[in-house]
């Protein structure tokens, strides 16, 4: 009886000492409570991608955006582990995934931060993780990692961040100070023109068409756009059009062309009249 107690005690001491001296970061850092689905971004997605890569289901880049590659990887995982195949990371899938894999958050985020191409296959990562770092450095790295986990962003289909930036420049130059819907409407007019037969077929063609926009003519397009104009552009690209499919707009106080008044008017938002 006594000897069993001592063994117990010894074991407890052993367990505590191991947990204290362990230099490994928490390997079983688990997901948040939320269900993760396609299109999501953030830390849960990084963990999901890393864990799927650990067991070889995901070969793409760990970038923190739940894209199609991650989706298929998760579905394959669900299929192989006898779960419902729906591409959603729910509680069951999380449990199985955590059980089957290890996740070293610090290491993964460091690698992402450094910008190097890296893979997180089970077995290989430990060797790379050998060089030990001081507490302080770790903390710093952690902080950085928290700031910018994901290295990719979602973009509306067919457009790049640079296209969004260019349009945001135009919207900011043309309609800063207008209500939000007025800015979305200006962005929508640019897109309606791209679709229209009587205008160029690209965003840049429409924006830089001579005499099309005053902000382009007087250089205001090169002011640095704010976040609002970027949001307005993304909304327009995602299908919002408060202009009512307008292809012209003008400020009645400053419009110089009499022809523009002959266009059938749709509505007025802020200072701009939108027309067909």
Q: Which residues pair with 250 in a beta bridge?
A: 273
- The answer to whether residue 179 forms part of the interface with another protein (CB under 8 A) is yes
In 10 A of CB 262, how many CB atoms?
9
- The answer to whether residue 35 forms part of the interface with another protein (CB under 8 A) is yes
CA 60/CA 72 separation, integer angstroms: 11
DSSP reduced 3-state for 264: coil
- The answer to whether residue 225 forms part of the interface with another protein (CB under 8 A) is no
CA 65 to chain centre: 6
In 10 A of CB 265, how many CB atoms?
17
In 10 A of CB 232, how many CB atoms?
29
Residue 38, φ and ψ in degrees, nearest 5:
-55, 140
- The answer to whether residue 115 forms part of the interface with another protein (CB under 8 A) is yes
- Decide whether 17 or 34 has the Cβ nearer to another protein: 34
- Decide whether 64 or 104 has the Cβ nearer to another protein: 64
In 10 A of CB 182, how many CB atoms?
23
Q: What number of chain residues touch another protein (CB under 8 A)?
A: 80
- Decide whether 22 or 226 has the Cβ nearer to another protein: 226
- The answer to whether residue 20 forms part of the interface with another protein (CB under 8 A) is no
Q: Which of 93, 166, 203, 275 binds another protein (CB under 8 A)?
A: 275
Q: Which of 98, 244, 251, 271 binds another protein (CB under 8 A)?
A: 244
Choose among 130, 129, 102: nearest CA to 26. Answer: 102
Contacts of 128 (CB under 8 A, 6+ apart): 107
Choose among 76, 116, 113, 112: nearest CA to 96. Answer: 76
- The CA–CA distances, whole Å, from 26 to 23, 46, 106, 199 equal 9, 16, 9, 58
User: Please, what is the minimum distance in Å from the beta carbon of residue 50 to another protein?
Assistant: 17
- The answer to whether residue 220 forms part of the interface with another protein (CB under 8 A) is no
User: Please, what is the minimum distance in Å from the beta carbon of residue 118 to another protein?
Assistant: 12
Q: Taking each helix axis as running N to C, give the angle between helix 227-237 and helix 161-175, from 0 to 180 degrees, rounded to the nearest 10.
A: 120
- The answer to whether residue 254 forms part of the interface with another protein (CB under 8 A) is no
Q: Which of residues 61-90 bind another protein (CB under 8 A)?
A: 63, 65, 67-69, 71-72, 75, 88
- Decide whether 4 or 157 has the Cβ nearer to another protein: 157
Q: Which of residues 135-174 bind another protein (CB under 8 A)?
A: 148, 150-157, 160-162
User: Please, what is the minimum distance in Å from the beta carbon of residue 60 to another protein?
Assistant: 6
Identify which range of 15-23, 39-47, 91-99, 119-127 contacts another protein by CB under 8 A: 39-47
Identify which range of 12-20, 110-118, 138-146, 166-174 contacts another protein by CB under 8 A: 110-118
C-beta of residue 78 within 8 angstroms of C-beta of residue 93: yes
Identify which range of 19-27, 103-111, 120-128, 236-244 contacts another protein by CB under 8 A: 236-244
């Amino acid at each position: 009886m006594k000897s069993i107690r001592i063994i117990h005690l010894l074991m407890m001491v052993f367990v505590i000492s191991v947990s204290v001296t362990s230099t490994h970061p928490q390997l079983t850092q688990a997901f948040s409570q939320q269900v993760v689905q396609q299109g999501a971004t953030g830390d849960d997605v990084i963990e999901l991608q890393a864990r799927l890569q650990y067991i070889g289901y995901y070969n793409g880049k760990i970038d923190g955006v739940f894209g199609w590659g991650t989706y298929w990887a998760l579905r394959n995982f669900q299929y192989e582990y006898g779960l419902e195949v729906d591409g959603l990371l729910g509680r069951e899938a999380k449990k199985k995934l955590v059980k089957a894999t290890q996740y070293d958050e610090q290491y993964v985020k460091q690698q992402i931060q450094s910008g190097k191409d890296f893979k997180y296959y089970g077995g290989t990562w430990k060797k790379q993780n050998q060089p030990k770092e001081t507490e302080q450095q770790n903390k710093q790295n952690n902080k950085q990692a928290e700031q910018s986990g994901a290295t990719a962003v979602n973009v509306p289909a067919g457009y790049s961040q640079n296209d969004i930036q260019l349009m945001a420049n135009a919207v900011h130059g043309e309609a800063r100070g207008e209500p939000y819907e007025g800015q979305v409407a200006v962005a929508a007019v640019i897109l309606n023109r791209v679709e229209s037969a009587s205008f160029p077929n690209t965003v840049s063609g429409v924006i830089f068409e001579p005499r099309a926009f005053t902000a382009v003519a007087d250089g205001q397009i090169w002011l640095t756009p704010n976040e609002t104009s970027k949001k307005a552009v993304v909304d327009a690209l995602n299908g919002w059009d408060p202009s009512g499919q307008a292809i012209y707009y003008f400020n009645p106080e400053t419009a110089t062309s009499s022809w523009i008044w002959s266009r059938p008017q749709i509505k007025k938002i802020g200072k701009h009249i939108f027309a067909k």
